[in-house]
Amino acid sequence: MYDVRPPIAANSPRFMDQFRIFIRSRHYAFKTEKTYCFWILSFIRFHQLKHPKEMANAEIEAFLEYQSVTRNVSSNTQKTALNALIFMYREFLRIDIKGLKFSYAVKPRQLPTVFTHTEAQHVITQLNDKAKLAAQLMYGCGLRISEATRLRIKDIDFTAKCILVRETKGDKSRRTLLPQALFAPLRCEIESSLLLHQQDLLNGFGSVYLPNGLARKYPNAEFEDKWQYLFPASTLSIDPRTNITRRHHISEQSVQRSVKQAINKMGLMKKAGCHTFRHSFATRLLEAGTDLRNIQELLGHSDISTTQIYLHVVGLHERGIVSPIDQ
């Protein structure tokens, strides 16, 4: 259930343990840690377990070339591998890497799949309870599945009509829209979450995980209503970080499974899932004439080029282009 960083002894002599500790000292997201460690391990294994200090440009180029030519990975995947290697050498090992020569992956970038508004609404109506509201937040607010499941009660601001998204990709907070249509179901979900929290308190539990050492700074905050998850799990479990029995949020996998089942039930012939709601949110805004910069801010993209992909998704007929045979 928990997506938790494994504990590491500070004096561990293992290279990968020290690399993980270094990443954590930079306060990178756990997903980034896992991604970087995956590529570094792949690099080391590709070169028959040679230590990275014994390798340089030639080995990096051979590894990246293998990813592009033999494995036929996308350009983004190759860039991720390159970023991990450069981070390890320049930041961790303090070895400057310059003048790399390798074939860049030229696999064309695929356009994201989007739902029509009718399709999105039909998928949502097939869902129940927490999965339904999570899907509404992904479609109505542009949240990632991880962001939706980790929302806390204090992140919902009904007065300002916005949601503060804190535990995001790249650990960057942002604000996004809070649709009026979700006020009532969100208030019901908050009430349900607080009732469950009160029951936990009566049973001698009721604490919730707080990130980045906040539990030490604010000792009572983990028991406060506002810090509780909007979507609490149905059962208590032992937090492996602290060995405390507490209630976590619902898993991403449970929502993904429900959404996939709803899509299959509809017989929708699209390769779609939870992230399709986020793509559809951006596309609807673009169709409505929303400025690309505003969409970038709502989605939390660090680079406008990432947001520009939606320009290619909006249908040609929505840009006023008509086929001559229809004129």
CATH code for position 56: 1.10.150.130
**54 and 123 housed in the same domain:** no
Q: Per-residue pLDDT for 293 more than 80? A: yes
Is 171's pLDDT higher than 80?
Answer: no
Active site residue 278: yes
pLDDT band per the 50, 70, 90 thresholds, residue 63? very high
Is residue 212's pLDDT more than 80?
A: no
User: Same domain, yes or no, for 85 and 122?
Assistant: no
Q: Is 197 a catalytic residue?
A: no
Structurally, the chain folds into a number of domains equal to 2
**Annotated catalytic residue: which of 130, 150, 248, 301?**
301
pLDDT tens column, 297-316:
999 998 898 888 888 877 65
Do 219 and 322 fall into the same domain?
A: yes
Q: Is 317 a known active-site residue?
A: no
Region 14-37: mean pLDDT is 91
* pLDDT value of residue 240: 79
Name the catalytic one among 47, 79, 169, 174.
Answer: 169
Does the annotation count 71 as an active-site position? no
The answer to whether position 102 is within a domain reads no
Domain boundaries, position 325: 112-327
Look at residue 242 in the predicted model and tell me its pLDDT: 80
Q: What is the pLDDT of residue 2?
A: 54
List the 162-165 sheet strands across, edge first. 156-157, 162-165, 174-177
Whether 169 is a known active-site residue: answer yes
pLDDT at 1 over 50: no
132, 144, 150, 248: the active-site residue: 144
pTM of the model: 0.80
Residue 170 has pLDDT above 70, yes or no: no
